[in-house]
Amino acid sequence: MPESPYLVIDPERVRANYRTLDAAVTVGTRIRYAVKAAPVAELITLLAAEGAEFDVASIGEIDQCLGLGVAPERLCYGNPIKKSAHIARAFALGVRRYAFDTEDDLDRIAEFAPGSEVECRFLSSAPQSRTPFGTKFGCAPAEALRLLVRARDLGLEVGGPYFHVGSQQLDPAAWRIGIEQAGEIVKALADKNIAVGAVNVGGGLPISYADAAPELDAIAAAISGAAAEFLPAATGLIVEPGRALVGNAGTVHAEVVGVRFAPDGRRWVYLDIGRYNGMAETENEYIAYRFVTDRDGDPVSEAVVAGPTCDGDDVLYQRTKVLLPTTLRAGDRIQILHTGAYTASYSSVSFNGFPPLTVHVSGAERE
């Protein structure tokens, strides 16, 4: 048995998730996997074979995909925050698609990746998601229109407008709102003789954790319905799932390090995995993972769940009601379900000396 903690990912579940999404979305929709969710070589290779494109956030992810045989034409450098040197290197490696949300980044793309296709990310009016971006990314829709016109004038190919409704978005109407705003940009561009091939509706497709999420069919229907209503018939769609493809394909295997009753009487359960070696998405308790133990069936009570480091912020849940068996003891095994996305990729290098989360792929093993 591998040393705890570790993550096990089932690639066949990822394949099934991809095919389910492909069947649910409008015919011709391009699926672009957000590599940052789980940059696991076996998954990238599998999704490439299924026909996916790839949303890459850095030169590191570009190098990884290219090293695995993914053609550069299938990559989009989707991070709006990037150095000029990294744009130039990506271009030299054959990447010809870029996202941006500022005039400065657009000018640098024009200089260092001339003739490339660009998508402008605007900040949609969608409701807040479970793990929101805030206003870190995206310009105003009117600014996106201006910048895409400028992109044409700079000799770049206009891909189209791009929005993201926020990670783990639980309201299907969010995509309708974004597509309606994107549609206004597309129509205004058409008036300036700029044709848009596709609108990028981003990621944010949710999965169920301790609380239920809308079914994929409901979200796909909202996207398809909005596209039919607000976009010209010739305008395609791009969707950038990460969590929806890999989230439910992973299970973290962990161990109870200790149990303590604090002076206020609350029970604390300490695990060998915490916010710095895989559980980063428990920040603000946005994501409520489900736990399975070998003592399930015993009486339960509320517990504060914390990680192993000596950092006071390394607490997973203290407001969220987590019920765990009262019989839990040090050394007991515990599984954390649906942890395939944003766990290993969020691990610190060696905070407090704890190593990053190890990944094992069903049918193969890798670090």
Residues 6+ apart with CB under 8 A from 27: none
Residues 6+ apart with CB under 8 A from 209: 287, 288, 289, 290, 337, 338
Buried/exposed 108-119: b ≥16 CB within 10 Å, e otherwise: bbbebbeebbbb
User: How would DSSP label each residue in 322-335?
Assistant: -EEETT--TT-EEE
**Residue closest to 92 by CA, chosen among 111, 74, 113, 107:** 113
Instruction: Determine how β-strand 315-317 pairs with β-strand 358-361.
Output: unpaired
Instruction: Determine how β-strand 300-302 pairs with β-strand 304-306.
Output: unpaired
Residues 6+ apart with CB under 8 A from 245: 14, 17, 18, 21, 33, 37, 47
Question: Is the backbone peptide bond immediately before 5 cis, with ω within 30 degrees of 0?
Answer: yes
Torsions phi, psi for 247 (to 5 deg): -55, -55
**Residue closest to 164 by CA, chosen among 131, 123, 128, 194:** 123
d(CA 54, CA 183): 24
d(CA 244, CA 17): 7
Q: Is position 310 annotated as part of the catalytic site?
A: yes
From the candidates 76, 120, 139, 310, give the one annotated as an active-site residue: 310
d(CA 329, CA 230): 57
Residues 6+ apart with CB under 8 A from 345: 36, 37, 38, 39
Q: Catalytic residue numbers?
A: 310
